[in-house]
Structure 1
Amino acid sequence: MNRKELKEFLDIKVEQYNTPDFIPHDPIQIPHLFTDKKDIEIAGFLVATIAWGNRKSIINNSNKLMELMDHSPADFIKNHEESDLDRFDGFVHRTFNSEDCKTFMRSLQHIESKYDGLEHAFAKAYLEQNNLQKAISQFKTIFFEVDHLQRTQKHVSDPMKNSSAKRINMYLRWMVRKDNAGVDFGIWDSIPMSALSLPLDVHTGNVARKLKLLKRKQNDAKSVAELDKVLRKFDPVDPIKYDFALFGLGAFKEL
């Protein structure tokens, strides 16, 4: 396929996979339990943080987190006291343990009180950096302004250290992308869709290479930048919609 044919093919696949049918099979179903903006963005951030490994396990542990927050994540983050964090003792998802979880709760409360929430923290970083991947790196610095164990830092990726930052890029897609199909929320107006980057993982990377969209072998920040250039030519306004096409082609083994 030439580039024009490839774009047409991918546009068809976006239409096929970017539908509400996507939601029940994806961790995005958890923030879709809520209607309040703060609930959605806090639930989404926590779910995206543990969104690696077995899909069923991700969804089960995400539900467990919501239960531990009394199914009111925004209220819990705003009003919890230190003693309330004892309820997370024993929580674990792969290498994300209860101490990591408690740090995330403290940090989210700090971000709410100091920056008026996650959107404003990310927007501040984006405004200063004018590049979303650099902004993610700055956001990580903001996130760990609270006391924390060094080990917890690995749970917030840093593109400036050549991480693909798959989970944060996925989270930003959820929050920023205006989606007529109703999968992504599009509740943040302070960051443009055009600035978003693909949540690159093993599966989307393999599909991108098969389609000759990506030459680089590693799934890292340099590969994200390489894919960004191509996808932004395909759709300068909404380049990240192609995440649905690449994910679907891989998940349903169409290639």
Structure 2
Amino acid sequence: MNDTLKKLSKTELKEFLDAKVQQYNNPKFIESDPIQIPHIFNKKEDIEISGFLTATIAWGNRKSIINNANKLMNLLDNAPSDFVMNHQETDLEKLQPFVHRTFNGNDCVQFIKSLKHIYKNHNGLESVFAKSSKNESLQTSISKFKTIFFEIEHLPRTQKHVSDPLKNSAAKRINMFLRWMVRNDNTGVDFGIWKNLSSSQLSCPLDVHSGNVARKLGLLNRKQNDAKALLELDTALRQLDPKDPVKYDFALFGLGVFEGF
């Protein structure tokens, strides 16, 4: 089947992938995905902050990502924006035991401080990404976001938890977070609450699953999942749908994770 799919014309490939988007881009997807965490909240800042923190730890086993993201929300009193903006130094102590893979309590405390800095001095997460998003891709914005995120005093070790596309990272987790915030899919999966950015600027959250499927479909040739591969995949997906290229993340991810394609 894989060889047959590789030989599909561009139109046939688009039809195949559009059908897969329809199959997976629906509310049922939320049940097994980390996106369920920001779906707990209604307030814009709660959705953004919970989404950003969840996306930050979104690597490894999906069940453990969801469990740990829930734990983190409990530590933030299930009111993430209130905690970020109004915490005292002593409130941060309870975050110290938190750990997900290499993201530990010290990193967690640093993230809360950096988020407070961004909301207090830079008008929030959306504003930081929107301010530097003058071109068709948000990869430069992600790099600038990292600079702003760490412009306060910080632990050097925590920098590794925010990717930099200008250092050849595919920045999978931040691209996923941006998809959640910017893309309005009319099905209730992605939020579409950031109005100052456009779906056409989004990039596919490139990981092992989406990368392998993209290669099997002939959308990607580069072997590593890095910034160069992301650019190649973005270019191919923008040809299929220039307005909403990242919708194909649902198809690639679904084929890889749910169908073992």
Tell me which interval the TM-score lies in, with the shorter structure as reference length: over 0.9
* Aligned position for 1:173: 179
* Aligned position for 1:162: 168
Deviations 1:130-157 (A, max 9, x none): 6410110010000001211111000000
Q: What do you get for the CA RMSD once the two structures are aligned?
A: 1.0
Distance apart, 1:253 and its partner CA: 2.5
Q: Secondary structure at the match of 1:163?
A: coil
Is 1:142 aligned to residue 148 of structure 2? yes
Q: Secondary structure at the match of 2:98?
A: coil
TM-score (norm 2): 0.95
Q: For 2:131 and 2:220, locate their aligned partners in 1 and report how far apart those are by CA, in whole Å.
A: 31
Distance 1:219 1:238, change over 3 A: same
* Aligned position for 1:47: 54
Distance apart, 1:116 and its partner CA: 1.4
TM-score (norm 1): 0.98
Percent sequence identity is 67
* Aligned position for 1:22: 29
Q: Is the 8 A contact 2:96 2:108 kept in 1?
A: no
Q: For 1:111 and 1:143, locate their aligned partners in 2 and report how far apart those are by CA, in whole Å.
A: 7
Count of aligned residue pairs for this structure pair: 254
* Aligned position for 2:74: 67
Distance 1:122 1:206, change over 3 A: same
Q: Secondary structure at the match of 1:183?
A: coil
Is 1:152 aligned to residue 137 of structure 2? no
* Aligned position for 1:109: 116
Aligned mate of 1:80, from 78, 87, 102? 87
Q: For 1:249 and 1:130, locate their aligned partners in 2 and report how far apart those are by CA, in whole Å.
A: 27
Q: For 1:211 and 1:241, locate their aligned partners in 2 and report how far apart those are by CA, in whole Å.
A: 16
1:158-237 to 2 correspondences below 5 Å: 158-237=164-243
Distance apart, 1:83 and its partner CA: 1.5
* Aligned position for 2:3: none
2:77 is aligned with what amino acid?
Answer: D
Deviations 1:182-209 (A, max 9, x none): 1000000111110000000011000000
Q: For 1:130 and 1:136, locate their aligned partners in 2 and report how far apart those are by CA, in whole Å.
A: 13
Q: Secondary structure at the match of 1:181?
A: coil
1:91 is aligned with what amino acid?
Answer: F
Q: For 2:124 and 2:218, locate their aligned partners in 1 and report how far apart those are by CA, in whole Å.
A: 39
Structure 1, unmatched stretches of 5+, are none
Q: Is the 8 A contact 2:182 2:192 kept in 1?
A: yes
Distance 1:30 1:22, change over 3 A: same
